[in-house]
Amino acid sequence: MESTALPTIEELLVQMGAAGRRVCEIDASEAGAGNISVCVDELPGVRNVFPLSERIELPLPAPSLAGRTLLVTGSGRRLRQIADDPAAAVGAVIVEADGIHAELLTSPRRAFERLTSEFNSHLGVHDDQIGRRNLPFHAVVHAQPPHLTYLSHIPAYRSDRAMNTAILRWEPESIVALSQGIGVLDFMVPGSQTLMDANVARLRDFEIVLWSKHGTMSRSDISVLRAVDRVEYAETGAKYEYMNLLAGGSGQGLTPAEIRSVADAFGIQSPWLD
């Protein structure tokens, strides 16, 4: 059982490293693709790890994050390398009272010019979730799992109903781990305001959203590894679906009645129980 105590700066960086490594192990982050961020109320000792300071303007107003600290991966940093030297791959952002500016703290070993290009989407989700729920901790992970992304290239799968019917039927654990299912967005330009707005809205109803023809964004108010778990469960379901396509659709998968029996046994409520 995961602890409810807020992690230290050292523990958070270890978790981000483990999360980045796992995302890469499931082939969901090629080269510098993918990014991770966490947001906490406060983070004692952060200046010991990141002693260099500069003032920045946030890519969008984040009034709900005033006074909070975010750890964010740098643009172009390979997620698999975070664990080797997290201070080189991550920056700390302390949001000022106006919610518009922030102090960016980095290490002398900083190996990136700017924070991830998806920082606006991360920031928007953190601000929305924390503003609505007053969370002490929130994690966001963007990954590019290949089988999920491939299915989103097929128009017949590009809806909430079709995608969830496809990926929740292959493992009994899926309806438990992904009870809310996965939300599906149409293709939108990466890093754009349009994608950011749609992503924030969908992550109010889902804990993982598929950006069609691009990748996923998942969130957790428990741990960054829990956000990665959601990617892994969804990607595994998509892999089974892909294998079934290659086999001519001969696999039955779990029937709706079998999925419901699992949900009933574990007390799961889900909009995807037929």
User: How far is Cα 98 from Cα 117, in angstroms, rounded to an integer?
Assistant: 23
State the pLDDT at residue 77.
84
User: How far is Cα 227 from Cα 188, in angstroms, rounded to an integer?
Assistant: 22
State the pLDDT at residue 211.
96
The domain spans of the chain are 9-266
Task: Indicate the fold that domain 9-266 takes in CATH.
Answer: L-fuculose-1-phosphate Aldolase (3.40.225)
Question: Is the Cβ–Cβ distance between 159 and 138 less than 8 Å?
Answer: no
Q: Is the pTM of this model over 0.85?
A: yes
Per-residue pLDDT at 2 exceeds 80: no
What is the chain's mean pLDDT, rounded? 94
Residue 106 binned pLDDT confidence (cut-offs 50, 70, 90): very high
**Mean pLDDT on 226-254:** 96
**Rounded (10°) angle between helices 193-202 and 119-133:** 30
What residues have CB less than 8 Å from 21, skipping those under 6 apart? 79, 80, 82, 83
User: How far is Cα 73 from Cα 179, in angstroms, rounded to an integer?
Assistant: 29
**Rounded (10°) angle between helices 9-25 and 224-246:** 10
User: Percentage of the chain surpassing pLDDT 70?
Assistant: 99
Q: What is the DSSP string of 16-30?
A: HHHHHHHHHHTT---
Question: What tens digit of pLDDT does each residue of 156-174 get?
Answer: 999 999 999 999 999 999 9
| Identity of residue 190 | P
Question: Is the Cβ–Cβ distance between 15 and 223 less than 8 Å?
Answer: yes
- Assign residue 253 a region: left if phi > 0, alpha if psi is -120 to 50, beta otherwise? left
Question: Is the Cβ–Cβ distance between 220 and 195 less than 8 Å?
Answer: no
Per-residue pLDDT at 3 exceeds 60: no
Per-residue pLDDT at 33 exceeds 90: no
State the pLDDT at residue 4.
58
